[in-house]
C-alpha cells in the first residue's frame, strides 16, 4: 500500500506519525494511506512559502504569464491522468472528473491575463505637481483548505489566482482524496512555478488549525461544509487574517406550469443525481408550482430506471459511488426516515443492492416534502431529490428566500416577466434561468449568500484578484519644472 506524502519546497516530504486511509469508493478497497500533517509539518510548509515569496513577488508579470500559458498546456495534456486520479479516490465517473479538470482550466486561462488584471490606476495633477496612483500587491502566504468533492477544480479556484497575483501558497486538500493535489503541484513546478511557491500539506484539523493560527499566513481561502466554514472564518479572522469561507448548500429549482416539462425533468435528473449529488451546486429541492407537480414527478420517475450506476471507470456509468461507507449509510438513513416524517417515497434508492463492496447507493425521489422535515432542512449531499409542492410562484420564491442557505437557485419557465422578477428578488449568489446548475464561467466569480459564504469575497474571477492583493495608494509631488529651484546643470528648455 503506497503512502501519500506532503509536497513541500518542491519535494515529497513527511514521516508517518499519523495517517488516514484513502479508499477506492467503487470497490471499497483501502488503497493508500495519507500522512496527517503535524504542526511541525505545517510550519515547514509555511517556512518554504515565506522563503519563496520575495523572489516570486518580484518575478515579472510577463514571466508569470508565460508560465501560466505553459501551465494551461500541461494541464490540458495531462487532464486524463488527473481525471483518472480523481475517479480512483473520489468515485465520480470519468466524464465528470474530466469536466472538473476542464472547469479548473478556465481559472488558469483567466489568470493568464494577469498583466491586465493587476493594472493599477493613475490620476495626474490632482493638485499642483501632485499625482496619485495605486498598485495591487500580493498579500503574502495564502492558506487554502479544500473539500473532497472537487479535488482538482476547487484547488484550482484558489491557487491559480493566488499565485498569479504573486502570493505563495500552503494547500491542505481533503484527506479523503488527496493524490490529485500532489500531481497538480508537480505540474505547476513543471510549468516553471518555483519550488516553495505551492506547497501541499495533508491531514485533518490539526493541520488546518496550524495554518489558521500561524502568524506566517496572511489570508485563508476555504471551501467545505457550513459548520466548518463558520468555524474557520471565526478562528482565522480572530488571528487577523483576511478570510473567504464558502459553505454548504440546499439548492432549489422552481418549475412553473408553463415550463418545458421534458427539459425541466432532464435538468432535474442530471442536476440532482449527477456526481451522486455530491456537488455544492446540486439541485436537492424541486419546487413544483401548481399544475407542474404531477407531470414532473411522473417524468422524473420514468427517467430514473434508465440511469446507469456503476464504477466511474466503466464506460457507460452515469453515476458512481459515494465518497465513504459512512456517508453512504448516512444518506440512506435520511431516505429510511422520510416516510415517518410524512414524505412520500416515490423511488427508494437506499434499498437498491449492488454487486460490489463499493459505496454505492441508488437514487431517491421524495414527494410531498415539507419545510420542517430533515430531508428539507439538512444538506444530505447524496442522490436524493425532494419535491415540495406549492400553489404560487410567490410561495416558491418565499421558500428560497427563507432558506438559511443561498448558494444556487434556478427557475424553469417560458415567462420572461417571471424570470426577471425571480432574478431581481431571489436571495442567492448564483441564479439560473432554465439552467439548473448556474456555476459561473471563469471570468465571473463564484459564491453564495447567507450560510453558504462567510466573508465578503466570492472565489475565482475578478473578486479573487481583489482578495489576493492589497491596494497601495501612492501620492507623489514633483514641482512644476518652471517652479523648480534645483540646478540640473543643463537648461530646462531643452
Ligand atoms: P468538510 O467541511 O468536512 O471539509 C472541508 C475541509 O475542511 C477538508 O479539507 C477537511 O479536512 C477540513 N476539516 C474538516 N473538519 C474540520 C475541522 N473540524 N476543523 C478544521 N478543518 C476541518 O467538507 P467536505 O465533506 O470535504 O465537502 C463537502 C462540503 O463542502 C459540502 O457541505 C458542500 O456543500 C461543500 N462545498 C461547498 C462549495 C461551495 O462552493 N460553496 C463547493 C464544494 C463543496
pLDDT digits (tens, 9 = 90+) for 148-173: 999 999 999 999 999 999 999 999 99
Whether 248 is in the pocket of ligand 1, judged by its Cβ within 6 Å, is yes
Placement of cell 436524493 in the chain: 384
Instruction: Evaluate: CB of 452 within 6 angstroms of ligand 1.
Output: yes
Q: Which residues neighbour 443 within 8 Å (Cβ) at sequence distance 6 or greater?
A: 110, 461, 462
Model confidence at 89, pLDDT cuts 50, 70, 90, reads very high
**pLDDT at residue 124 greater than cutoff 60:** yes
Q: How far, in Å, is the centroid of ligand 1 from the Cα of 417? A: 38
Q: How far apart are CA 319 and CA 277, in angstroms?
A: 9
175 lines ligand 1 (CB under 6 A): yes
Atom of ligand 1 lying closest to residue 407 CA: 41
Active site residue 165: no
Atom of ligand 1 nearest to the CA of 459: 40
For the stretch 342-377, pLDDT in tens is: 999 999 999 999 999 999 999 999 999 999 999 999
CA dist 173 and 150 (Å) reads 10
* Nearest atom of ligand 1 to the alpha carbon of 204: 11
Q: 307-318, pLDDT tens digit by residue?
A: 999 999 999 999
User: Which pLDDT does position 479 carry in this prediction?
Assistant: 80
Q: Checking DSSP bridges between strand 198-200 and strand 168-172, what pairing results, if any? A: parallel
Does residue 401 carry a pLDDT above 90?
yes
* Predicted pLDDT of residue 1: 79
Cβ atoms of 387 and 347 within 8 Å: the answer is no
The pLDDT of residue 492 is 62
Extended strands (E) in 146-182: 168-172
Catalytic residue among 114, 156, 228, 280: 280
Residue 6, all three cell numbers: 506532503
Residue 54 C-alpha to ligand 1 middle, in angstroms?
A: 31
Check if 284 has its Cβ closer than 6 Å to any atom of ligand 1: no
**pLDDT tens profile 227-267:** 999 999 999 999 999 999 999 999 999 999 999 999 999 99
Ligand 1 atom closest to the Cα of residue 228 is 2
Name the closest-CA residue to atom 35, ligand 1. Answer: 224
Report the pLDDT value the prediction gives residue 493, as an integer from 0 to 100. 60
For residues 83 and 151, give the distance between their C-alpha atoms in angstroms, rounded to a whole number.
Answer: 10
Confidence tier at 481 by pLDDT (50, 70, 90)? low
- How far is residue 105's CA from residue 184's CA, in Å, rounded to a whole number? 12
348 lines ligand 1 (CB under 6 A): no
- The model's confidence at residue 15, banded by pLDDT at 50, 70 and 90, is confident
What is the Cα–Cα distance from 409 to 435, expressed in whole angstroms?
Answer: 9
What is the tens place of the pLDDT at every residue in 45-54?
Answer: 999 999 999 9
Please name each of the domains of the chain with its CATH number. Answer: 2-247+452-475 (3.40.605.10), 251-433 (3.40.309.10)
Q: How far is the CA of 248 from the centre of ligand 1 (A)?
A: 8
User: What is the C-alpha to C-alpha distance for residues 433 and 426, in angstroms, rounded to an integer?
Assistant: 12
Ligand 1 centroid – CA 472 distance (Å): 34
Give the distance from CA 35 to its chain's centroid: 24
pLDDT at residue 92 greater than cutoff 70: yes
How many Å lie between the centroid of ligand 1 and the Cα of residue 82? Answer: 21
Assess whether the C-beta atom of 223 lies below 6 angstroms from ligand 1.
yes
- Nearest Cα residue to 359 out of 33, 90, 34: 90
* pLDDT confidence of residue 484: 66
pLDDT digits (tens, 9 = 90+) for 203-238: 999 999 999 999 999 999 999 999 999 999 999 999
Residue identifier of the C-alpha nearest atom 20 of ligand 1: 205
Q: Give the model's pLDDT for residue 487.
A: 73
- CA-nearest residue, atom 42 of ligand 1: 280
Please tell me the distance from the alpha carbon of residue 25 to that of residue 326, in angstroms, as a whole number.
Answer: 11
Please, what is the angle between helix 61-77 and helix 179-191, to 10°?
130
User: What is the atom index within ligand 1 of the atom nearest the CA of 248?
Assistant: 34
| Confidence band for 191, pLDDT divided at 50, 70 and 90 | very high
Are 334 and 347 a contacting pair, CB within 8 Å?
no
Share of the chain above pLDDT 70, in %: 98
| Selection from 395, 47, 429 nearest residue 217 by Cα | 47
Amino acid at each position: 500500500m503506497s503512502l501519500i506524502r506532503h509536497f513541500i519546497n518542491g519535494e515529497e516530504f513527511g514521516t508517518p506519525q499519523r495517517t488516514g486511509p484513502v479508499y477506492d469508493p467503487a470497490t471499497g478497497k483501502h488503497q493508500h494511506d495519507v500522512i496527517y500533517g503535524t504542526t511541525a509539518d505545517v510550519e515547514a510548509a509555511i517556512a518554504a512559502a515565506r522563503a519563496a515569496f520575495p523572489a516570486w513577488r518580484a518575478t515579472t508579470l510577463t514571466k508569470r504569464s508565460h508560465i501560466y500559458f505553459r501551465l494551461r498546456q500541461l494541464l490540458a495534456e495531462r487532464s486524463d491522468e488527473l481525471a483518472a486520479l480523481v475517479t480512483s479516490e473520489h468515485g465520480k465517473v470519468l466524464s465528470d472528473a474530466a469536466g472538473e479538470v476542464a472547469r479548473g482550466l478556465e481559472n488558469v486561462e483567466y489568470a493568464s491575463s494577469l498583466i491586465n488584471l493587476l493594472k493599477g490606476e493613475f490620476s495626474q495633477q490632482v493638485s499642483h505637481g501632485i499625482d496619485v496612483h495605486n498598485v495591487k500587491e500580493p498579500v503574502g502566504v495564502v492558506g487554502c483548505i479544500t473539500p473532497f468533492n472537487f479535488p482538482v477544480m476547487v484547488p484550482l479556484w484558489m491557487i491559480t489566482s493566488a499565485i498569479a497575483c504573486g502570493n505563495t501558497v500552503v494547500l491542505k486538500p481533503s484527506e479523503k482524496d488527496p493524490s490529485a493535489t500532489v500531481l497538480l503541484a508537480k505540474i505547476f513546478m513543471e510549468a516553471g512555478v518555483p519550488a516553495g511557491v505551492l506547497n501541499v500539506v495533508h491531514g485533518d484539523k490539526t493541520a488546518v488549525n496550524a495554518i489558521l493560527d500561524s502568524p506566517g499566513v496572511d489570508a485563508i481561502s476555504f471551501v467545505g461544509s457550513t459548520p466548518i466554514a463558520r468555524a474557520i472564518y471565526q478562528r482565522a479572522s480572530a488571528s487577523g487574517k483576511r478570510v473567504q469561507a464558502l459553505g454548504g448548500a440546499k439548492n432549489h429549482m422552481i418549475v412553473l406550469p408553463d415550463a418545458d416539462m421534458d427539459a425541466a425533468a432532464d435538468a432535474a435528473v442530471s442536476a440532482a443525481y449527477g456526481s451522486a449529488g455530491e456537488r455544492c451546486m446540486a439541485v436537492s429541492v424541486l419546487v413544483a408550482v401548481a399544475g407542474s407537480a404531477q407531470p414532473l414527478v411522473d417524468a422524473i420517475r420514468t427517467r430514473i430506471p434508465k440511469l446507469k450506476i456503476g464504477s466511474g471507470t466503466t464506460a457507460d456509468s452515469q453515476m458512481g459511488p459515494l465518497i465513504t461507507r459512512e456517508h453512504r449509510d448516512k444518506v440512506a438513513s435520511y431516505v429510511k426516515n422520510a416516510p415517518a416524517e410524512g414524505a412520500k417515497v416515490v423511488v427508494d434508492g437506499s434499498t437498491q443492492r449492488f454487486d460490489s463492496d463499493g459505496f454505492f447507493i441508488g437514487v431517491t425521489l421524495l414527494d410531498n416534502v415539507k419545510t420542517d422535515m430533515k430531508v428539507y432542512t439538512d444538506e444530505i449531499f447524496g442522490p436524493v431529490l425532494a419535491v415540495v409542492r406549492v400553489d404560487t410562484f410567490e410561495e416558491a420564491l418565499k421558500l428560497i428566500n427563507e432558506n438559511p442557505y443561498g448558494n444556487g437557485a434556478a427557475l424553469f419557465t417560458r415567462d420572461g416577466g417571471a424570470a426577471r422578477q425571480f432574478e431581481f428578488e431571489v436571495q442567492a449568489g448564483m441564479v439560473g434561468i432554465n439552467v439548473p446548475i448556474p456555476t459561473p464561467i471563469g471570468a465571473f466569480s463564484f459564491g453564495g449568500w447567507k450560510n453558504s459564504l462567510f466573508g465578503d469575497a466570492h472565489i475565482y474571477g475578478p473578486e479573487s484578484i481583489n482578495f489576493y492583493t492589497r491596494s497601495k495608494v501612492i501620492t507623489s509631488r514633483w514641482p512644476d519644472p518652471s517652479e523648480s529651484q534645483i540646478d540640473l546643470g543643463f537648461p530646462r528648455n531643452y
